[in-house]
């Protein structure tokens, strides 16, 4: 990152926002990593978990860089009813549609009390290398939403997007269990992250159709919602302490 980028408050806002989304939505990935690792002998499981998360981090960054590169291709490749579409438009449009549908489906599952782990099962692996490869593939599938969201929010800030992924992976490596418990105990946090995904998806669809919405509106609404959620968490924590003290 350049000094100018580090001095820009928007850089830090993006880093915190993207890292938070990566962390909250990435916790579910740990469930599948645990399932894949459980196919190995106990002595190899912890090493496979760390190697798997490292491999998943590399594949996620590669996916991010690929989408960011495609998002810079602005020459029209075809037109529909006089409206030209570039590769960038298609990436934003299709990515936005994916985020909207994925976010709505996840919210529906949260409301219905269902979990991804009930619907998707990893196949038994025959070797250490097979487990690592399986974890890398699983991570690509389940991180696609957060990666597309990162590209949509910070298209010109690739170093910030990479830093957010590295920070999220580091946090999950060091604090996976307490984070998982926190999100399980506060499902509204994940609901808020999914709502952000739907919001970003709608923004990307509009951008793909060349209907430009100032990003300040998106950041402002997300920041306000996050502040309200922090107040809710604080209020609930104080209420529980009062009940516990009483």
Dig out the tokens for 56 from the structure.
């998943």
> Per-residue pLDDT for 93 more than 80?
yes
Which range is least confidently modeled, 81-85, 122-126, 170-174?
A: 122-126
Over the stretch 5-37, which tens digit does the pLDDT of each residue have? 667 777 787 788 888 877 776 766 666 677 677
Tens digits of residue pLDDT in 62-91: 888 888 787 777 787 777 777 788 887 888
CB atoms within 10 A of CB 232: 14
> Is residue 151 exposed (0-12), middle (13-18) or buried (19+ Cβ within 10 Å)?
buried
Phi-psi region of 186 (alpha: psi -120 to 50; beta: other; left: phi over 0): beta
CB 60 within 8 A of CB 147: yes
The domain locations on the chain are 3-245
> For all residues of the chain together, what is the average pLDDT?
77
CA–CA dist 22, 12 (Å, integer): 15
CA 70 – CA 162 distance, rounded (Å): 16
pLDDT of residue 1: 55
Q: What is the pLDDT of residues 203-235, one digit of tens each?
A: 888 888 888 888 778 778 877 888 888 898 888
Average pLDDT rounded to a whole number, residues 87-104: 83
Instruction: Please give the biggest Cα pair distance in the chain.
Output: 69
pTM: 0.66
Alpha-carbon gap, residue 187 to 111, rounded angstroms:
10
């Amino acid at each position: 990152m350049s000094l100018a980028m580090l001095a820009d408050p928007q850089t830090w806002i993006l880093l915190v926002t993207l890292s938070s989304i990566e962390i909250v939505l990435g916790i579910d990935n740990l469930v599948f990593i645990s399932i894949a690792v459980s196919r190995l002998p106990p002595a190899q499981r912890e090493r496979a978990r760390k190697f798997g998360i490292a491999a998943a981090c590399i594949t996620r960054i590669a996916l991010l860089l690929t989408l960011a590169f495609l998002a810079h291709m602005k020459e029209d490749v075809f037109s529909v009813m006089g409206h030209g579409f570039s590769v960038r438009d298609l990436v934003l449009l299709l990515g936005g549609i994916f985020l909207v549908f994925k976010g709505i489906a996840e919210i529906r599952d949260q409301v219905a009390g269902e979990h991804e782990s009930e619907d998707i099962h990893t196949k038994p692996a025959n070797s250490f290398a097979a487990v690592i490869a399986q974890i890398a593939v699983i991570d690509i599938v389940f991180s696609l939403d957060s990666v597309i969201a990162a590209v949509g929010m910070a298209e010109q800030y690739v170093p910030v997007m990479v830093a957010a992924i590295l920070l999220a992976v580091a946090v999950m490596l060091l604090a996976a269990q307490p984070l998982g418990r926190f999100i399980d105990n506060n499902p509204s946090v994940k609901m808020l992250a999914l709502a952000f995904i739907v919001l970003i998806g709608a923004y990307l669809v509009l951008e793909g159709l060349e209907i430009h919405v100032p990003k300040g509106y998106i950041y402002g609404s997300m920041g306000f919602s996050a502040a309200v959620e922090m107040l809710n968490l604080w209020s609930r924590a104080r209420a529980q302490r009062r009940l516990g003290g009483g």
